[in-house]
Structure 1
Amino acid sequence: MAPKPLQDNVSRRKEASPVGKAIFIGLRAVDIWWQHRLLARGWATKALTTFGGQSIPVTQIVTSATLTGLQPYYSLVSLLSVGSSIKQIATMMFVSEQETPVASAIAIAAFNSIFNSVNTLLSVWAVTSQAPSSGSSSLRDFPQFLLANPLIAIGAGAYLVGIVTEAVSEFQRTAFKKIPANKGKPYGGGLFSLATNINYGGYTIWRTGYALVTGGVPLAVLTFSFFFYDFAVRGVPVLDEYLMTRYGEAYEVIKSRVKYRLIPGIY
């Protein structure tokens, strides 16, 4: 019996899809509002207590001392969701060439919002929250806050490295494709010279950093394992097959030159 074909979660067909893209952009923008309300309005706390969970004291969450109306830790949690939405909206607007059916737009946006919401909920759950037990509520003390909480600083750093890597690599590839002389050629330069699917690796890293900030090491390990496994056994092979079919020997040359597939130094 032939092995079951691996599922590709995105379409490789190039089409404008204005309705699908508009829906995706709208839903990712709404997620910024949603994640902030979960914290600022106490919705995350209410959800936890409804299901018998113990939240950290609300007084540790809500404060008017920062632009977000939250103390530094929860300002950071909120900003992580903001960054994820901005990055994905920018990608949809300026990078994506593939068709985006309405159903796919809703599913992908919902997947990211659910992941963000889980992170937000765990950031207020007493069992998993990384919120400092005490500290300044002033945004001016944010650098000191990070220095005093190295696990949060590491998570924020991983998030920044990952999301910048994903964004820069994709914009580098887009710039390459816009040059007429490169039409019909695969791209293996820039950050893609470090790993053939480094944008997937960047996504895995920033999701892991996000999880480390909100839920600590166990959630970070679980998140990394989930995305790394999915990309390694499904995402990368599916894309490799597509690129080999589209570009043939030219892509084979890139694969032979670039040692890693997902994350430099790991895989």
Structure 2
Amino acid sequence: MSYEKPLPGVNPQPKGHLSQHRLDPNRSVPGAITFALGRVSDAPLQYLMFTQGWAVKGLTAVGLRASNLLITAGPGVADLGPIPTLLTGMYAVAGLRHAYWVLFTNAYNWPPSAALEVVGYNTFMSTLNTLVAVNALTSSPLPILGDFTDCIGWKQWAGLALFGIGISMEIVAEESRKSFKKDPKNKGKIDDTGLWSVVRHPNYLGYTLWRAGITLTTGSLIATAALTAFQVLTFTSGGIPGISSYMSSKYGKQWTDYTRRVPSAIIPGIL
């Protein structure tokens, strides 16, 4: 669309503050660097959570079961077992994807304070998933012997599929909107092409799907349901109303007509 979203995974700034970012096309170099470095540091941090026993210590401190041995048991990479290996890889891909977004796709000014907010949110979500995974490993029915594929089950395969679909959707939505906005013929128009013709916020849907995929890979269905519901609530109660208010004030009838053509905000036919 011809607006810039709040950074992935956070509620928007207060309306006036958010509009100020959108109206100022001068990019904040410190903000972009802070955001990029913060996101790519997520995977190394979670790797240390696994390998240095920080996740186990945190869980046992609150009376939950956890074992350092089960983190490293089975085939994996860099002293990790199969599920921690998958999760660390997913964290890395997501972090690199967001770093690319802020450096090459985003064209608006996001100061370091906003960058730190989104980095903090995503780090918090990843840390929760790491803790869930370590706890789930203590009662996992999956084998720890054999090759890599022997040691993961349907939840991990489904999680990988959701992750791949979500990341792809987020990339396609953002890059297609960037191309739409660059075309002089589309100046002053709302992008209602491609994924933007299906839901009004396909980037949010993509983000929600890949976040759900990571959580499902931990092996916990309860955590997957809870964290996915939390993510949808975060968008529907924060990000989406803020964007809708901004778009309505900027585009007026064009926005009203668009919402009639595309009534679903984030989940086709449901929400």
**C-alpha separation in 1, matches of 2:151 and 2:161:** 14
Q: What whole-Å deviation, never above 9, does each CA across 1:135-155 have from its counterpart, x for those lacking one?
A: 3464xx33x544xx1122222
CA displacement, residues 81-134 of structure 1 (integer Å, 9 cap, x when unaligned): 1122112111111221221111111111011101101110111115x7675542
Query: Runs (4+) of structure 1 moved beyond 6 Å?
Result: none
Aligned letter for 1:161? I
In structure 1, the gaps of 5 or more residues are 1-6
The structure with higher relative contact order (CA 8 Å, sep 6+) is 2
Structure 1 residues 64 and 133: CA distance shift in structure 2, 3 A: closer
Unpaired segments ≥5 residues, structure 2? 1-10
Could you say which residue in structure 2 is the equivalent of 1:240?
Answer: 244
**DSSP 3-state at the match of 2:22:** coil
Residue 253 (structure 1) aligns with:
257
Distance 1:218 1:129, change over 3 A: farther
Report if aligned partners of 2:83, 2:218 keep a CA contact under 8 Å in 1.
no
CA RMSD of aligned residues (A): 2.3
> TM-score, length-normalised on structure 1?
0.85
Alignment coverage as a number of residue pairs: 254
Residue in structure 2 matched with residue 118 of structure 1 by the alignment: 128
- Larger mean CA deviation between 65-74 and 194-203 belongs to 65-74
- Residue 160 of structure 1: aligned partner: 164
* Corresponding position: 1:82 with 2:92: yes
What's the CA shift string for 1:32-77, capped at 9, x where partnerless? 2111111123322233233433213x33322695444322211111
Cα distance in 2 for partners of 1:52, 1:110 equals 26
CA distance in 2: counterparts of 1:132 and 1:61, whole angstroms = 14
2:31 to 12, 20, 23: 20
Give the conservation status (yes or no) of the 8 Å contact 2:76–2:82.
Answer: yes
**Alpha-carbon distance in structure 2 between the residues aligned to 1:129 and 1:151:** 16
Structure-1 separation of matches of 2:235 and 2:139: 28
2:3 aligns to what? none
Distance 2:139 2:240 in 1: 33
Matched residues in 2 for 1:40 and 1:32: separation? 12
Amino acid at match of 1:265: G
Query: Aligned match of 1:55 in 51, 61, 66?
Result: 66
CA-to-partner distance for each residue in 1:154-177, whole Å, 9 max, x for gaps? 222222212221121111101111
1:4 counterpart residue number: none
CA spacing shift, 1:255–1:24, aligned 2, 3 Å: same
Instruction: Output aligned runs, 1:1-267, within 5 Å.
Output: 8-9=12-13, 10=18, 11-13=21-23, 14-56=25-67, 58-62=68-72, 65-126=75-136, 131-136=140-145, 138=147, 141-142=148-149, 144-146=150-152, 149-214=153-218, 216-267=220-271
Identity over aligned pairs, percent = 28
Asked if the contact 1:151–1:212 (Cα under 8 Å) also holds between the matched residues in 2, the reply is yes
Q: TM-score, normalised by structure 2?
A: 0.84
Amino acid at match of 2:230: F
Is residue 95–residue 170 contact of structure 1 (8 Å, CA) maintained in 2? Answer: yes
